[in-house]
A and B are shown apart, each in its own frame.
Chain A
Amino acid sequence: MADDGGLWIVVPAYNEGPVVASVVSELTERYPNVVVVDDCSTDATAVAAEAAGATVLRHPINLGQGAALETGIRYALSRGARNVVTFDADGQHRMEDIATLLDARETSGADVVLGSRFQGGTEGIPRGRRILLKSAVALGRMGRRVRLTDVHNGLRLLSRSAAERIHITQNGMAHASEIIRRIGELDLNVAEVPVTIRYTDYSLRKGQKLASALRIVVDLLVGRLQK
């Protein structure tokens, strides 16, 4: 499925100055509509992303990846996006996998297409990280309507309809679980496709720690209390 201009790629970024330019350059070679949401970085992330050809939105204060995604999605929808792909700024995702998401959307008609590293592959994933992610999948399966193999993958495609209805309210890393929960609540058609996640020294340094995993659980519980 060729990019017909209805696809927007949303890249949330916080202090990704060293890598964001190369990530954006690679994306814009093939996809014209790339929006980077700079979550109040203290380095040159915004400047580098803009120089590489992205539309850049800047949060005036640091809010978190979930908030940055929601801002980018709202912007993409305001620009007429028919499909929105979320893509990490740290180089973990491969541009080639966007085509896999688009093909799955076209062939299956799913409202949401999620990338799965456990169906696809990982390059250089540390053992501890694999255990943590698999535990998240197992915990998430308890009581969750949507059965998935990878619940914390930032590479995903949302149709316009899905993007309009899934409002991300979790500002932090709990947004990934919130998206899955909303997919279940809205009874959206979801497909999972294999993608490859690249673990580099750079991305591992910036990746989630065990403390972050505990924070995600707390944020989700507080979110429930508010309802």
Chain B
Amino acid sequence: MIITIVLTGGLLFFLAYGVLQARRSRFLAAAVGLVSIGGIALVLAPDSATRLAQYVGVGRGADLVLYCWIVVSLIVSLGLYLRIVKLHEAITLLARDAALKAAAARSGRRE
């Protein structure tokens, strides 16, 4: 019972976060909403996880949840890595601009 309350509370908080992100990214909000609502459903009806697991060919509900968590984590990690790469590209452009401007300023002072 206690764990049900804790998990449901946490997932409701996560759902609220997703709703707040809707203006920034509808895709992110939808993904967070899906995970939260799906998670709450599994927490409130734990047997449904087992039935769903057997339907898709996995032995136990807990295993299904774990596999889904691994896949979601890998996708999120890849997405974050690609964002970091994009940020690095932006930093590169800024650093290059700074180097070229400094060179132009030094050249202007010498002339």
Taking a contact as CB atoms under 8 Å apart, the answer to whether B92 and A75 are in contact is no
Q: How far is the CB of A176 from chain B (nearest CB, A)?
A: 17
**Chain A contact surface mostly:** mixed
Taking a contact as CB atoms under 8 Å apart, the answer to whether B81 and A222 are in contact is yes
A91 to B86, CA, bound (A): 34
Taking a contact as CB atoms under 8 Å apart, the answer to whether B92 and A67 are in contact is yes
B-side contacts of A55, CB under 8 Å? 103
B-side contacts of A171, CB under 8 Å? 88, 92
Taking a contact as CB atoms under 8 Å apart, the answer to whether B82 and A71 are in contact is no
Taking a contact as CB atoms under 8 Å apart, the answer to whether A63 and B92 are in contact is yes
Q: Does A61 contact B (CB under 8 A)?
A: yes
Q: Does A208 contact B (CB under 8 A)?
A: no
Q: Does A70 contact B (CB under 8 A)?
A: yes
A58 to B98, CA, bound (A): 9
Number of interface residues of B (CB under 8 A): 15
Taking CB as reference atom, which chain A residue is nearest B102? A58
A95 to B17, CA, bound (A): 61
Q: How far is the CB of B80 from chain A (nearest CB, A)?
A: 12
Q: Does A94 contact B (CB under 8 A)?
A: no
Taking a contact as CB atoms under 8 Å apart, the answer to whether A226 and B82 are in contact is yes
User: Hey, what's the 0/1 contact readout for A140-152 against B, CB within 8 Å counting as 1?
Assistant: 0000000000000
Q: Does B20 contact A (CB under 8 A)?
A: no
Taking a contact as CB atoms under 8 Å apart, the answer to whether B89 and A60 are in contact is no
B-side contacts of A225, CB under 8 Å? 82
Taking a contact as CB atoms under 8 Å apart, the answer to whether B96 and A71 are in contact is yes
A120 to B92, CA, bound (A): 35
Q: How large is the interface on A (under 10, 10 to 19, 20 to 34, 35 or more residues)?
A: 20 to 34
A94 to B84, CA, bound (A): 38
Q: Does A181 contact B (CB under 8 A)?
A: no
Q: Does A37 contact B (CB under 8 A)?
A: yes
Q: Does A169 contact B (CB under 8 A)?
A: yes
Q: Does A59 contact B (CB under 8 A)?
A: yes
A-side contacts of B100, CB under 8 Å? 57, 71, 74-75, 78
Taking a contact as CB atoms under 8 Å apart, the answer to whether B99 and A71 are in contact is yes
Q: How far is the CB of B79 from chain A (nearest CB, A)?
A: 11
A55 to B102, CA, bound (A): 12
A67 to B90, CA, bound (A): 12
A78 to B102, CA, bound (A): 14
A residues contacting B by CB (< 8 A) are: 37, 55-61, 63, 67, 70-71, 74-75, 78, 169, 171, 222, 225-226
Additional pairs, 6, CB under 8 Å, beyond known A57-B99, A58-B102, A74-B100: A58-B99, A59-B98, A59-B99, A63-B92, A67-B92, A71-B96
Closest 5 CB pairs of A and B: A57-B99, A71-B96, A57-B103, A59-B95, A67-B92
